[in-house]
Amino acid sequence: RPAIVWFRDDLRLADHPALHEAASGRPLICVYVLDDVTPALHPVGSALRWWLHGALADLRAQLESRGGTLLTLAGSAEDLLPQLARHMDAGSVHWHYRLHERERAQDDRIQQALEQQDCEVRAHWGTVLLDPDTVRTKQGGFYKVCGSFWKALQTHIVPEPLGMPDGLSFQDVPDSVLPDKRLNEADLCPRVPDWAAGFRTTWEPGEAEGQEHLEDFLKDAVAEYPRGRDRVAEEGTSRLSPYLASGAVSPRQVWAALQTHGAHTDGPRIFLSELGWREFARYTLYHLPQLPFENLSAKFSGMRWRNSAADLKAWQRGQTGVPIVDAGMRQLWQTGWMHNRARMIVGSFLTKHLLIDWKEGEAWFRDTLVDADFANNAMNWQWVAGTGIEATPFFRIFNPTRQAEKFDPDGDYIRQWVPELRRLSGKALFEPWAAKEADLRQGGVILGKTYPRPIVDLKDGRDRALQAFRAL
């Protein structure tokens, strides 16, 4: 009987424990299900759909080169998996565990349905370094601070990544099986004309591209990572996030590559600790399922967030009148990615200067990031907003101008993404509202016309946020 491999956020062939196990001697059916009908958490966002379009094509091409293919379906996973198994008389279904309790509950229901039809389910950990139940405090609880979690995790043995499977054999799925449930992959690309143009020039989804990114980063940038990672205009980070989020690259592959690359020297060690944040986000999602939905710090339940559709829209469009914020938001819109430092700056501006609920920011990022990831996104938004368990205190409010002067000292990032300001220099570039009229004129900038006046006075916004916080 054939074995089904259900691909989810693990779109690769190498280091794929579920595929590896399924492949031992049985003909394979490889399937991906886009479930917008009963998504366990939220439907897949628009930018990630664009990424999926390329990532699924890449996975299919890899399987075809080995004599198989990838079946892509659209609809309720709870219905489709048992139906597919029944039609094909599959003996087993193999997948990687998911983390959130709703996802796990869905997996349990699917497992029950499959077992009722005499089809075994085999699950493995394939999207994290370790099973989140492995890393426990001395009292048997779970860690709430990333540093302690990461230290404890490193006392365990992280399994070696598996290689590319070989000798795969496949079972054809006839066109007559679930014909009306086949995914039209062209629908994954955005309908907004041209939105993806900048994605296409920035990214190439796929497993080989992900490995190349990793190798190039280790060769060229990891040694400089401690300094380069905060410079928003530089390519000082790995840009591996969409490959990790879609599973083209596994965290164990990154871990193993770093071990052979001097994991105890500064660059690799600090880079690995970022992988630690990724792991911690997953661990937190597993242990605290309210992470994407509620403030983890209960104190914030009474927070009087502002409801301003106009300010939210200005932020989303990169039209706030604060150059570093607009640069970040436009980089996101145009490329589906934003530098981590810029994510922190725009997040602080939204939740503090504009006093808008972090969930609005989380939802916008979820829809526009090609690396959109429930765990990382929610944990980082809660961190930025100060509502998380281990978060920057709410009263610590980034001054966007100081941040720009520090992390974009030459203004290259602002000039790249906010080109209408590119002829300004010095302080005028960072704070055009405070510049002399003559300097603005010389730079071709007319505030309120060619570039917006700030939608909030930075000092007033800060005071308003602090007042709201004190009122809690």
Query: Could you give the residue numbers annotated as active site?
Result: 274, 277, 305, 340, 358, 381
- Cβ pair 350, 456 in contact under 8 A: no
Handedness of CA 284, 290, 294, 298 (dihedral sign): negative
Nearer to ligand FAD, 170 or 271 (CB): 271
The maximal CA–CA distance of the chain, rounded, in angstroms, is 79
- Helices (H), ranges, 229-373: 241-246, 251-259, 266-287, 309-317, 323-335, 340-348, 358-368
**Nearer to ligand FAD (CB atom), residue 92 or residue 295:** 295
Q: Would you say 239 or 252 has its CB closer to ligand FAD?
A: 239
Contact 41, 107 (CB under 8 A): no
Nearest CB to ligand FAD, comparing residues 150 and 365? 365
Residue that the structure tokens 């370094």 belong to:
129
Backbone angles phi, psi at 145, to 5 degrees: -125, 130
CB of 323 to ligand FAD, least distance (A): 19
Least Å from the CB of residue 338 to ligand FAD: 7
Local structure of 221: helix, strand or coil? coil
What is the smallest separation between the CB atom of 228 and ligand FAD, expressed in angstroms?
9
For residue 105, what are the CA distances in angstroms to 39, 109, 270, 425?
12, 6, 35, 56
Q: Cβ 321 to ligand FAD, closest distance in Å?
A: 21
Residue numbers of the site for ligand FAD (CB under 6 A)? 229, 237-241, 244-245, 274-275, 277-278, 281, 340, 343-344, 347, 365, 369, 371-373, 376-377, 380-381, 384
Tokens for 38, please give them.
Answer: 């009963």
Residues whose CB is less than 8 angstroms from the CB of residue 390 and which lie 6 or more positions away in sequence, other chains included: 144, 145, 146, 383
Kindly report the backbone phi and psi dihedral angles of residue 41, in degrees, each rounded to the nearest multiple of 5, phi listed first.
-115, -90
Q: If you write DSSP's letter for every residue of 414-437 in order, what string do you get?
A: HHHH-GGGTT--THHHH-GGGS-H
Looking at the Cβ atoms of 241 and 331, the one nearer to ligand FAD is 241
Q: Cβ closer to ligand FAD: 294 or 420?
A: 294
Q: Rounded to an integer, what distance in angstroms lies between the CA atom of residue 349 and that of residue 343?
A: 10
Provide the 3-class DSSP secondary structure of residue 369: coil
